[in-house]
């Protein structure tokens, strides 16, 4: 699959996250759609698709959500996606449980990076999300990533590049 498909998917996920999912949150618990699908794409499709999703999705989120510094979400997503790619390399081919567990663990890192970058750039304190809310967010993200893996694999089989012998 070319890098155009993950870029378009990241933009659509960022639009969905910034518009519809902001109204579906309970307290401060809501699905991080770009993050969850980005980890699933990276672990399923590989480096180019994962990094394209992370960068394009992060910049789009920064542009659409008020109060975010341009590039903060992109940097957080690129770093977290890099770690997810290392996990995927260790457990290749990554199973559904590995993708969901990696997403659950990296949700904590993603939010810590986001809060740290916000505190560094805007001088805001490191307050933020409580631990029970973060556990709920990480669980939602893991479920979303787990549900996305079969869909991503099916789309890659249908529209991806056919395997050929490299000369």
With bands split at pLDDT 50, 70 and 90, how would you rate the model's confidence at 126?
A: low
- pTM, two decimal places: 0.89
Neighbours of 19 (CB within 10 A): 10
Q: The domain at 4-159 falls in which architecture?
A: Orthogonal Bundle (1.10)
The residue ranges of every structural domain in the chain are 4-159
What's the average model confidence in pLDDT over 38-56?
94
With bands split at pLDDT 50, 70 and 90, how would you rate the model's confidence at 131?
A: confident
Cis peptide before 93 (omega within 30 of 0): yes
Q: Which SS3 state, helix, strand or coil, does residue 29 take?
A: strand
Q: Which of 66, 101, 61 is nearest to 78 (CA)?
A: 61
């Amino acid at each position: 699959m070319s890098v155009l498909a993950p870029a378009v998917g990241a933009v659509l996920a960022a639009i969905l996250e910034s518009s519809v999912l902001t109204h579906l949150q309970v307290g401060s618990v809501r699905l991080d759609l770009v993050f969850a699908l980005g980890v699933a794409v990276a672990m399923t499709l590989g480096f180019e698709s994962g990094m394209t999703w992370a960068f394009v999705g992060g910049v789009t989120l920064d542009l659409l959500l008020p109060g975010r510094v341009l590039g903060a979400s992109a940097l957080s997503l690129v770093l977290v996606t890099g770690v997810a790619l290392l996990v995927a390399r260790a457990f290749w081919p990554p199973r559904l449980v590995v993708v969901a567990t990696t997403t659950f663990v990296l949700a904590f890192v993603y939010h810590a990076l986001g809060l740290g970058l916000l505190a560094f750039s805007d001088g805001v304190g490191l307050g933020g999300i409580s631990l029970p809310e973060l556990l709920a967010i990480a669980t939602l993200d893991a479920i979303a990533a787990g549900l996305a893996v079969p869909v991503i694999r099916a789309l890659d089989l249908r529209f991806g590049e056919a395997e050929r012998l490299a000369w």
